[in-house]
Structure 1
Amino acid sequence: MTVTVRPAAPADVGEILRMIRALAAYERQPDAVRATEDMLADRLFGPDPQVFALIAELAGRPVGLALWFLNFSTWTGRHGLYLEDLFVDPEARRAGIARALFRGLAEEARKRDCARIDWAVLDWNEDAKRFYRSIGGYHSTGWEPWRLDGPALAAMQEE
């Protein structure tokens, strides 16, 4: 069966949220998703979108998602793509969907003159790591992810 990858459209918002929720469940955080269809529609398709998505389809049915945004490297002087979420429905895995989504991301990077694609993977997700290595990805060392959110973010906003 042929995999089709295309930019997400407003009509995909329900499927995008479905896949985000399925990814959260897979990542052992089923109750963490706070996004709504309205929020996603606004961020992806509003007047100044800063987040983008590719949808992978098999037989016309959405089975995969790559949700991304632009970042910037002062060292290269160029943007990069940051892949926030990559998801493939369990029944569609091992059919080339993730590879097709990465080809779509690589094409976006080429069109936008991006220097690289970055992403994070959970330390326990060995299947994902094997896949990323198979496409030439590598574990970037030396940099640790950090985050400011929740009460600490609120406190910083009030300073």
Structure 2
Amino acid sequence: MSAVAIRRAGPKDAPALLRLARALARTQNDPHDRATRADLHRAWLDDDAPGLALIAEDEAGAIGYIALMPSFESGHASHGFYISDIFVVARARQQGVGSLLLAAAARVAIATGRSSLWWVAQDGNAAAHRLYRRFVTIEQPVRAFAVFGEHLTRLAARQA
């Protein structure tokens, strides 16, 4: 593999990020056709977006990304970033790209006064688990929960 560059993604990266985000969704058995360029702009790319994305590129183009959203972990009194997405295309896996993305995210965290990175991984993703175990301070078995769409609306309507 040729040299890999990691940089903060900007508005012109929306098409590549959308392609990568949809590929990640397919690997997770999530709907892969819902996110739009406008969604990515609002989340990571616009000047007033709450989060940010870093993109990994080689001579052929975008090969991975990591998306960071501000977080606060009260148990550790830690302002940090939640890694909402991390993905590397198949041809670039097992070549250090994921490590480079995590290291770049750590540098952004430190540069912005944050003291932690948090993320989750699916149970069956053994390759990712091996990578993450090289760096983590804490590994805990957790269950992830999410509420979307109509279920979110019903939850919001609850009074008791």
For residues 46 and 157 of structure 1, the distance between their equivalents in structure 2, rounded to whole angstroms, comes to: 28
1:48 is aligned to 2:17? no
TM-score, structure 1 normalization:
0.88
Residue 99 of structure 2 corresponds to 99
Q: CA separation in 2, counterparts of 1:61 and 1:116?
A: 29
Q: What is the identity, as a one-letter code, of the residue corresponding to 2:13?
A: D
1:1-159 matches, within 5 Å, as 1-29=2-30, 31-59=31-59, 61-136=61-136, 138-141=138-141, 144-159=143-158
**Count, aligned residues:** 157
1:27 & 1:14 partners in 2: Cα distance? 20
- Whether the aligned pair in 2 keeps the contact of 1:78 and 1:113 (CA below 8 Å) is no
Quote the sequence identity (%). Answer: 28
Partners of 2:62 and 2:155 in 1: CA distance: 40
Is the contact made by 1:54 and 1:66 (CA closer than 8 Å) also made in structure 2?
Answer: yes
Contact 2:22/2:35 (8 A) holds in 1 = no
AA in 1 matched with 2:27 = Y
The C-alpha deviation readout for 1:8-66, integer Å capped at 9, x for no partner, is: 0111001111001111111223x344110122123323352112100011126111100
Conserved in 2, the CA contact under 8 Å of 1:3 and 1:58?
Answer: yes
- Structure 1 vs Structure 2 CA RMSD: 1.9
Is the contact made by 1:79 and 1:114 (CA closer than 8 Å) also made in structure 2?
A: yes
**Corresponding letter in the other structure for 1:124:** G
Distance in 2 between the 1:24 and 1:118 partners?
19
Give the unaligned 5+ runs of structure 2: none
Say if 1:132 and 1:138, in contact at 8 Å, map to a contact too: no
**Cα pair 2:23 2:32 within 8 Å, conserved:** no
Q: Relative to structure 2, which stretch is displaced further, 127-136 or 102-111?
A: 127-136
Gaps of 5+ in 1: none
Provide TM-score, normalisation by structure 2.
0.87
Given that residues 109 and 116 in structure 1 are in contact (C-alpha distance below 8 angstroms), is that contact kept between their aligned partners in structure 2?
yes
Q: Is the 8 A contact 2:45 2:53 kept in 1?
A: no
Instruction: Please say which of residues 101-110 and 127-136 is displaced more in the overlay.
Output: 127-136
CA change 1:144–1:93 in 2 (3 A) is: closer
- 2:44/2:67 contact within 8 Å kept: no
Q: Structure 2 CA distance, aligned partners of 1:110 and 1:55?
A: 18
Give structure 1 regions of 4+ aligned residues with deviation exceeding 4 angstroms: none
Question: What displacement does 1:79 show?
Answer: 1.0
